[in-house]
């Protein structure tokens, strides 16, 4: 299963919704989802909705870390939203709660 990525912009927030398997093969789709919002001066925050992610691996963790670096360099905020089940467990084991705002 591939990762489906949708982006919606509302009141200065780019909502990036992920659906499916978040792994190395998702790199291009994930990166293209945030390139535009990072360069848009009207967007002040990026929210990655992981409600429909059923799997993530270490490369997905790396992609999230890279996104965090780019978001900070653009002086924007980043939130990981709706992390549940195994996805939340993986993020907890990786101590991502110390690096990210997770809601």
pLDDT digits (tens, 9 = 90+) for 59-70: 999 999 999 999
Burial category of 18 from C-beta neighbours within 10 Å (exposed 0-12, middle 13-18, buried 19 and up)? buried
Q: Domain residue spans in the chain?
A: 3-102
Average pLDDT over the chain, rounded to an integer: 96
Gyration radius (Cα) of the chain, Å: 12
Q: Does the pLDDT at position 15 exceed 70?
A: yes
Nearest to 64 by CA among 9, 8, 3: 3
Q: What is the pLDDT of residues 24-57, one digit of tens each?
A: 999 999 999 999 999 999 999 999 999 999 999 9
Considering the domain delimited by 3-102, tell me its CATH architecture: 2-Layer Sandwich (3.30)
- Checking 8-12 for CB contacts under 8 A at 24+ apart, the result is 9/37, 9/40, 9/43, 12/42, 12/43, 12/44, 12/45
At residue 63, φ and ψ (nearest 5 deg) are -65, -40
């Amino acid at each position: 299963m591939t990762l489906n990525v949708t982006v919606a912009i509302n009141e200065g927030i780019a909502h990036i919704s992920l659906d499916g398997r978040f792994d190395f093969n998702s790199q291009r789709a994930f990166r293209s989802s945030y390139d535009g919002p990072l360069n848009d001066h009207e967007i002040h925050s990026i929210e990655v909705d992981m409600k429909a992610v059923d799997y993530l691996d270490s490369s997905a963790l790396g992609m999230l870390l890279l996104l965090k670096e780019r978001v900070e360099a653009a002086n924007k905020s980043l939130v990981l939203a709706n992390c549940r089940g195994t996805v939340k467990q993986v993020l907890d084991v990786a101590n991502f709660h110390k690096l990210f705002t997770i809601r």
